[in-house]
Amino acid sequence: MLILALILSALNAITGTARSLHQMSTDGQFPKFFQSVNHHGVPSRAMIFNVGASILVVFAGGAVQIYTLSNVGYLASFIPVLIGYFILRRDRPNVRRPFRLPEWMKFVALAIAAIYAVIYFYGGPTYASCKCNAAGTTTLPYYFIGWGVLLLYLPMYWYRKRVEDKRGATDVHAAPGTASVVSEGVAE
């Protein structure tokens, strides 16, 4: 039963992130490569990408090393969410919401974001460099590998916006029935 539970857990991680990659691609935030779905409606390219990434993570080391590198992005996501809550409540206070916290909670969210940022940016590398963690050795390289993986989002986003979307924009301006040729940034 334990092995079946682990397999189910791995499948949930792979399928959930594949759908996320597919949706990010559909929303214009990730390369169009991930928009492909097979005849069952499954985002197959995103799924294969996730399986490959999961196999690479398995070779990273033991559980503590894997937790260190994989949680960098997850924990970093809390800070922009809290700041986003503050900005939304400040700039659009009258937007209809299913649940509304008191107005003063936006300042609590901002304070939590500031405290969390100190803990994250100071405490993360400090604990990862300490041999007092469960691995008994420094996991600081894995912390920075996690940051590298997190920052890989930027070139993929820029590729989508600066290459794929601009390529599609030049095709839109072409006359029907003619091919658009791009020469030195000018469509002919």
Of 75, 69, 74, 79, nearest to 149 (Cα)?
69
What SS3 class is residue 182?
strand
Of 64, 73, 75, 70, nearest to 119 (Cα)?
75
What are the beta bridge partners of residue 182? 187
pTM exceeds cut of 0.85:
no
CA 78 vs. chain centroid, Å, equals 12
Per-residue tens of pLDDT for the chain, all 188 residues: 777 776 776 676 667 788 889 999 999 999 999 998 999 988 989 988 988 888 888 888 887 888 888 888 888 889 999 999 999 999 998 888 888 889 899 999 999 999 999 998 998 888 888 887 776 788 888 889 889 988 998 999 999 999 998 887 765 555 454 444 444 444 43
Q: Measure the CA–CA gap between 139 and 128, rounded to whole angstroms.
A: 5
Give the burial string for 88-125 (b: 16+ CB within 10 Å, else e): ebeeeeeeeeeeeeeeeebeebbebbeebeeebeeebe
Q: Measure the CA–CA gap between 181 and 96, rounded to whole angstroms.
A: 47
